[in-house]
Structures are given as structure tokens and as C-alpha cells.
Structure 1
Amino acid sequence: MSSTTVTETRSIPSRVVGVSDSTPADEGTEFPAMHPAENDKTFQALARGNRAGTLKLRGIPIHTDVYAKRQWMREHMAAAFRFFGKQGYGEGVSGHISMRDPVLKDHFWINPFAKHFSLMKASDLVLVDSEGYVCEGGNQTLINEAGFMIHSEIHKARPDVVAAAHTHGIYGKTWSAFGKPIEMITQDACNFYGKLSVYDDHGGIALAQDEGRQIAKALGNNMACILQNHGLLTVGSTVDEAAFLFYSLDKACHSQLMAEAAAANGVPKIIISDEVAAYTAEAVQNPHNLYLEFQPEFDLIVEESNGRVLE
């Protein structure tokens, strides 16, 4: 089956993606190391501290123990699911987040089949191999076949991607019916400037590997893809980034739908200029920033669950 990609082609500064450290525990990783948060000038420019410059934004933490890193990633993945549950992204057994394992580089974690997002705990997550079979080390239960077909091909095509998220949120799937990218009508929409594509050849439920390959091809090197007549897909260098981007894109689709309704009644839209959109994107499309955007939600979920999400 063919796939047509509609991609924003305007140029913006390249985005650093990958894991947060290059310590001995992570030697051999295929993900490029990113600058530590305290040395990332673009990230640190987002907030102001003291005159001495000793107060710094905390970005993606560095782990010297790869197994501790795995547990930390699983905890944040479980929190991402609970956040998705709060947003109403669940619909039956549909929807999934995947996360590349930092120990076994060709394995990834995914949610168990038919487990409500809002009940997810770190111990519920399932470890699967490169062929999608459940492995020891994680929850011994079934996974969503369509989820594997989509996510495995994305992880194969994008070694830089640590996590990918896809659900059938109402605003994203409704806007997807138009087969178009969102417009730069708000500052928040600029989160995706130059990094959003559209997969416009929907082939039904992704139970065939070819559909996953076509979706991965349509995503290209972008951070998000609108799957026509289907929903949204976002990726990130952390599961926190992928989750925040999904939420941000779904809200942008909601905003776009309301703007289209107003425009249909004669109210003109004002589109943000390319220059301003690119300037905004340069500041916000930073892995540390996109990670940090999710941390208030992570803290709230840990508090609300009395820590059960971490179990």
C-alpha cells in the first residue's frame, strides 16, 4: 500500500534527540547523547534564577546505573498512561505507548492488553522482543497486536526515538478526518512547527506489518504524525516528551476545530508568521524542555495515586 506524506518543509534549527547520558552503563547505545541540562543554554534560557547563576532548571536526569534507569523509565511510562486516562484518551482496548528498553536495545516496553490507562503501574508494563513476543523481565500478559505493528516499525526506522504514543483521542481523530496538518494559529501550535507530517493512506486497523512500515515512513524525521481517519502519533527522546507532545497536539487539534467553525461563520483566522513560529519552535523543541513540560503532571499523578503508579 502506498503512503503520501504531507510534511512541513520549512527549515528550523536541528533538534538534539537521544538519551540523557553516555556513561559507561550506557556504552554501545545507539541513541546520541544530549547535552546535560545544566549546560544547555537554550533550555536554561527558559527560566530565570539568581544573579550567581547557581539556580538551574532540572532537565532529563543522568543515570549511571542502567537498571535504575530502566526502573525510572517504567515509572514515568506508567504515569504517562495514567495522565492519558485522565484526559479520556482510552477507548476500549485501543491506544498504546511504547518505550525502548535501555538494557536490551532491540526490546521495548508496551502496555498490557485491555488494562485501563488510569490503573497502570510500573509493574504492569510488558517487555517484548524485536518480533513482539512477551519476554521475561516484565508483566507476563498479552499485548495489543496493532500496537506492536505500529510501534515496532517506528522504533526500527527511528533509532533516536525512545518512546512513541498513539491513542484515539476525540479531537485528534476528528481533525485527522481532514487529512491536513494543523495551522500555526496559536503559540502552542508552534510546538510542532516544521516537525509534523500526515499519513493520508489509512489502511484500517494495523494488523499487518506493512501498515506499520507505511506509518513509520510517513512520520519520517518528525516528532508527530496525524494518521488520517485514525488519530495522532507522537514520539520523543523520553516517554515524558512523547506524552506531553501527544497532549499538546490533541489540544491543538481541538483549537483548530473551533477555529474552523468560527471561520466558517465569517471570522477570519490570523496565522502566525513563519519567522515567529520558527523562533518559538527553536525555544520549545528541546528534549529537556519537552521532558520538563510533563513533570507537573507526573508529580500530581504520584501524589494522587499515593505512589501506587510507581509500584
Structure 2
Amino acid sequence: MLDSVKRISVYQPEQRGLNFPELPEFKTPAEERLHLQKRLVAACRAFAQQGFDYGFAGHLTIRDPEHPHLYWTNPMAVHFDQVRLSNLILVDHEGRVVQGDYAVNRAGFVLHAAVHEAHPDIVAMCHAHTEYGTAFSALGKPLAPISQDAAAFFEDHVVIGDEAGQVAVEVKAGHRVANAFAGVKAAIHQNHGLLTASRHSIESAAFWFIALERCCKQQLLVMATGETPRLVPPEKARYSREHVGSDYIGWLHFQPIYDQLVATQPDMFT
């Protein structure tokens, strides 16, 4: 007989005593901050593994647990593969670096600061100039529920047409993008690329970015066949999104990625 275990997902085991990732608990803000910083570094390294680098473009952020008006982010003009604990920077909503030795990415500040400021519940955000997400964004259309994976984004992402194709370096551009993130975890910014946000963790934001890029690739491949795909019906897409599209599931998906990075890239936390 299985022991009764309080669960927030059907993927959590009902049986006690099995190895399974557990959500962390913290005794102090400093302990939580270090945890978040390590996961931010790992998310950057995961983006490097995925080939999401494009010069200095791309920025990932996590809100500070003690000072919510500040956020940690990767340093400007440092490759995702070279981001480490010691070169993260702490930035305020005005784009001023309050801790760290590197500059902040201007476009990253404009977009992420606006989202963090407009949505206090959003704790993390990711953006990179990826191959398939950028290509798909040129279509100006939402992702179709062509698979179980794509259904995770069903009615949980938006297409943003404002500032389409124009580099977001003006504060007003960030505010227009921020308005679109009410109640969704992802956005396709027309002629620009993908953005994800999480109300849970940097792990969740990072994994759903990886997943959205993958889904864009898959949809482009299906479109290239010239055939009309059979879509997951709305009620089944919603059911799948409920069970495999949550912030918790995004966090859970990232745990083996984190473990693999810790085992193979010991310089991350120097």
C-alpha cells in the first residue's frame, strides 16, 4: 500500500522513501540568495549547451529574495559558457549595477526590468536570440498544439507585435512588452524571438525557454512538409498543460540538467 503524501503534481511519487527532487527550504535570505545565484549560473550554462549564444545577446534574471526591487543577471558580453558565480551582477529597475564588476545588457535591462517591475509575482525571466524561435517569431503567430510538448504552452503564451523587429533599448518598449506578460509564462516577440517568465524559479523559466525553442523547431519542421497537422483538441491540450505545463513541472524538468552541469562543470561556482 502506498503511503499518503501531499502532492502538487501527479509526477510526485505517492510512495515515501524514494529518491525524488524536493523543493528547497531556506533558513536565511543569504542561503536562498546563494541557491538562486547557483541556479542562475546553471541556467546560463544550460543555454550554452543548447547553443543559444549569439554574441553578447541573451539575458537571464532572478529577483533577489531580500530586495525584490533588485535582480541578479548574467554580465554583459560574457559568453553563457563563461558565466560563473563570481561575475554575476545585481541590477535595479533603473538599470544601475549595484553589485558586480560588469556592465548590464541595455536591451536586457529594458525588457526584464520592465517585466519585473510591472509584475511583482514574476521572479525570473529568460531571453536569447535562438535559431528556431527567431525564425518562428517572423510568422507573427502563436504556437499550435501539434504535440503534447506544445500543449504545455496552449493558452499560456502570447504573440507580441509591439516594437516588432526594433531593438528594445528604449524604456517605453520594455513597458509595452511587460504588459503582455499578465498571466502567461511565455511570449513570442514578433521578428525578435522568445521570452519566458516564471512566478516560481529561474529553473522553470529556463526550462520553458528551452522547451519553447524546441517546440518552435518542431512546428517549423511540420510546416515544411506542406501537410496540415492534426492538432491536439483544446480540451486535451488544456489537460496536458495542467499536468505538464506548470511552473513546478518546469522546475522539475531542470533538476537533471542542473545535476549534470554540477557533475561536469565544476568551475560554475567559482
For the pair 1:213 / 2:178, whether they are aligned, the reply is no
Match in the other structure for 1:168: 129
**Mapping of residues 119-134 of structure 1, within 5 Å:** 119-134=82-97
Match of 2:269 in 1: 310
Which amino acid is 1:157 matched to?
A
Cα distance, 1:72 vs structure 2 = 0.6
> Which residue of the other structure, out of 159, 182, 195, is the alignment partner of 1:233?
195
Aligned-residue offset at 1:120: 1.1
Displacement of 1:87 after TM fit?
0.9
Confirm or deny: 8 A CA contact 2:127 2:195 kept in the other structure.
yes
Aligned letter for 1:197? V
Q: Give the paired residue count.
A: 264
SS of 2:62 mapped into structure 1: strand
Alignment partner, residue 272 of structure 1: 232
Aligned residues of 2:93 and 2:114 also touching (Cα < 8 A): no
How do residues 1-311 of structure 1 correspond to structure 2 at under 5 angstroms? 39=6, 41-43=7-9, 45-48=10-13, 50=15, 53-55=16-18, 57-136=20-99, 139-201=100-162, 202=164, 204-236=166-198, 237-262=200-225, 264=226, 267-305=227-265, 307-311=266-270
Q: Distance in 2 between matches of 1:106 and 1:134?
A: 12
Identity %: 34
Equivalent residues of 1:244, 1:293 under 8 A apart: yes
Structure 1: tracts of 5 or more residues without a match: 1-37
Say if 1:203 and 1:211, in contact at 8 Å, map to a contact too.
Answer: no
SS in 2 for 1:219: coil
Instruction: Normalising by structure 2, report the TM-score.
Output: 0.93
SS at 1:276's partner residue?
helix
Q: Which moved more, 1:180-189 or 1:122-131?
A: 122-131
Amino acid at match of 2:268: V
User: Contact 1:240/1:290 (CA < 8 Å) preserved in 2?
Assistant: yes
Q: For 1:252-293, what per-residue CA distance to the aligned partner results, in whole angstroms no more than 9, with x for missing partners? A: 00000001111x2xx331000111111111112333221110
| Greater Cα shift, 145-154 or 186-195 | 186-195
1:26 corresponding residue in structure 2:
none
Structure 2 unmatched ranges of 5 or more? none
- The secondary structure found in structure 2 opposite 1:93 is coil
Shift of 1:59: 3.6
What are the Cα deviations for residues 65-117 of structure 1, in whole angstroms up to 9, with x where unaligned? 11010001000000100110111111011110011001111001111110000
Distance 1:92 1:56 in 2: 40
Alignment check: 8 A CA contact 2:71 2:92 kept:
yes
Q: What is the CA-CA distance between 1:174 and the residue it aligns to?
A: 0.2
Q: Which secondary structure does the structure 2 equivalent of 1:135 belong to?
A: strand
Matches of 1:300 and 1:150, distance apart in 2:
30
TM-score normalised to structure 1 length: 0.82
The Cα of 1:54 is off from its aligned counterpart by 4.4
RMSD between aligned residues: 1.5
Q: Whole-Å Cα distance in 1 between the matches of residues 161 and 211 of structure 2?
A: 21
